[in-house]
């Protein structure tokens, strides 16, 4: 029996948190199936869109998925447009060009080159955007629309962070317009100095603070109080390997002394939230994976996601008075084996204060 194999950007983009590939058994005649993924971020200078087509094969579908001609439309067989609407009227429209400059990680699909459609528009947060795919071979089109997630700010913490707090800490941020869900990440920046050569390598450790996604509510401000700052030291210990040949120091984000912690809040729109809800397997024994798409097409001939997300971040100082966060990082039994020294002894600190 032949199989129609459909693939999406979700299978190759990592953190973008999208994880879904599907395989459908067909007994009917082949029809043109379009699979497209794109997430608009108003903070980005370039916006990329992945567009695949379903293919039919009686061979191993995973092997056949590595054939460029199987998974991608010939560029002259489709036209991809991005359209901008305000008050129900079209404001801008542009046919998107393609690029292979962004490499794809090794896997089942063609790599290291991949075909992406892209736009360098500066997005208007008050507009509605439509991605339109005209299929010349069939004469029809598929499309999806999304609003843009608005600006928002983190209100707490403000300046520094006592990582020694062994109790829940309240993180607060304003709601973003058009946002339906949030994820919170904490990133610790540090450097490794090779003890033999003095070479410096910048590194980081990141952790998602919320377990399930945080839903938007009616209040103007979101409060998250399920994080214990001191637990992040455990994350650091688990993520960083012991290496006696290097000495480590906290980094300085953008050259700001002791500012080595970045708190980032990601906001996603309702399309993104629905995709997450549908694509995440349930807790039952039967792990059926449902299909979700916000693409509109005739005869259900398009799948994928066109959505929006945005972020706000705050760079924080690791509280460094005597007996607090930096002392713990350098001297505590759990982290001492990682060879952290005080930032004041860092070659970057010394260089900046000569």
Residue 330 included in any domain: yes
- C-beta neighbour count of 170 within 10 angstroms: 11
Domain with 232, as residue range(s), is: 154-266+313-352
Q: Are residues 142 and 166 in the same domain?
A: no
Q: What would the two tokens of residue 254 be?
A: 């953008």
* Last residue of one domain, picked from the residues 148, 171, 206: 148
Sites in the chain below the pLDDT cut of 50 = 1-24, 26, 286-287
Residue 84 included in any domain: yes
* Last residue of one domain, picked from the residues 148, 182, 206: 148
pLDDT at 82: 98
pLDDT at 227: 94
Q: Are residues 78 and 199 in the same domain?
A: no
Q: Alpha-carbon distance 47 to 38, whole Å?
A: 8
Q: Are residues 217 and 339 in the same domain?
A: yes
- Tokens 């001939």 — which residue? 301
Q: Are residues 326 and 237 in the same domain?
A: yes
Residue 165 included in any domain: yes
Q: Are residues 206 and 142 in the same domain?
A: no
Q: Are residues 25 and 159 in the same domain?
A: no
Residue 289 included in any domain: no
Residue 64 included in any domain: yes
Q: Are residues 123 and 236 in the same domain?
A: no
* Contact criterion met (CB below 8 Å) for 64 and 79: no
Q: Are residues 139 and 161 in the same domain?
A: no
DSSP-derived secondary structure letter, 277: H
Q: By CB neighbour count within 10 A (0-12 exposed, 13-18 middle, 19+ buried), where does 158 fall?
A: exposed
Q: Are residues 167 and 142 in the same domain?
A: no
Count: domains in the chain: 2
CA distances for 261 relative to 232, 252, 285, 315, angstroms: 11, 9, 40, 6
Q: Alpha-carbon distance 192 to 322, whole Å?
A: 23
Q: Are residues 126 and 184 in the same domain?
A: no
CATH number for the domain that contains residue 65 = 2.60.40
Q: Is 174 helix (H, G, I), strand (E, B) or coil?
A: strand
Residues 217-242 pLDDT 10s: 888 999 999 999 999 999 999 999 99
Question: 232 CB contacts (<8 Å, ≥6 apart)?
Answer: 163, 186, 188, 207
Residue 276 included in any domain: no
pLDDT at 279: 74
Q: Are residues 245 and 347 in the same domain?
A: yes
* Contact criterion met (CB below 8 Å) for 57 and 3: yes
Residue 96 included in any domain: yes
Q: Are residues 114 and 249 in the same domain?
A: no
pLDDT at 23: 47
pLDDT at 105: 85
CA angle centred on 224, ends 204 and 270, rounded to 5° = 90
- Could you write out the DSSP letters of every residue in 239-269? HS---TTEEEEE--GGG-TTEEEEEEEEEE-
Residue 199 included in any domain: yes
pLDDT at 24: 46
pLDDT at 144: 97
* Last residue of one domain, picked from the residues 125, 148, 171: 148
pLDDT at 91: 97
Q: What would the two tokens of residue 76 be?
A: 């002259």
Where do the DSSP E strands lie in 54-115? 55-57, 78-86, 89-95, 97-99
């Amino acid at each position: 029996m032949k199989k129609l194999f459909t693939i999406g950007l979700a299978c190759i983009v990592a953190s973008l948190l999208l994880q879904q590939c599907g395989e459908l058994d067909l007994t009917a005649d082949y029809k043109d199936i379009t699979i497209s993924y794109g997430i608009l971020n108003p903070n980005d200078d370039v916006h990329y869109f992945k567009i695949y087509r379903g293919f039919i094969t009686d061979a191993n579908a995973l092997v056949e998925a590595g054939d460029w001609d199987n998974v991608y439309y010939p560029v002259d067989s489709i036209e991809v447009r991005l359209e901008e609407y305000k008050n129900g009227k079209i404001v801008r429209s542009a046919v998107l060009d393609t690029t292979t400059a962004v490499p794809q990680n090794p896997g089942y699909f063609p790599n290291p080159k991949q075909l992406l459609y892209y736009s360098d528009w500066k997005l208007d947060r008050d507009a509605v955007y439509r991605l339109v795919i005209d299929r010349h071979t069939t004469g029809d089109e598929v499309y999806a629309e999304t609003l843009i997630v608005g600006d928002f700010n983190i209100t707490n913490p403000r300046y520094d962070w006592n990582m020694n707090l062994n109790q829940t800490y309240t993180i607060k941020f304003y709601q973003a317009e058009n946002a339906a869900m949030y994820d919170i990440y904490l990133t610790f920046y540090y450097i490794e100095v090779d003890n033999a050569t003095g070479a410096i390598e910048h590194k980081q450790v990141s952790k998602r603070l919320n377990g399930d996604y945080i839903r938007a509510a009616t209040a103007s401000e979101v409060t998250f109080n399920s994080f214990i700052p001191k637990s992040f030291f455990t994350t650091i210990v688990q993520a960083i390997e012991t290496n006696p040949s290097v000495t480590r120091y906290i980094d300085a984000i953008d050259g700001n002394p002791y500012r080595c912690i970045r708190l980032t809040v990601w906001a996603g729109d309702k399309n993104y939230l629905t995709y997450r809800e549908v694509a995440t397997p349930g807790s039952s024994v039967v792990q059926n994976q449902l299909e979700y798409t916000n693409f509109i097409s005739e005869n259900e001939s398009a799948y994928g996601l066109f959505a929006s997300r945005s972020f706000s971040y705050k760079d924080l100082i690791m509280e460094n008075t005597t007996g607090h966060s930096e002392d713990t990082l350098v001297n505590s039994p759990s982290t001492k084996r990682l060879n952290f020294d005080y930032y004041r002894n860092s070659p970057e600190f010394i260089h900046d204060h000569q």
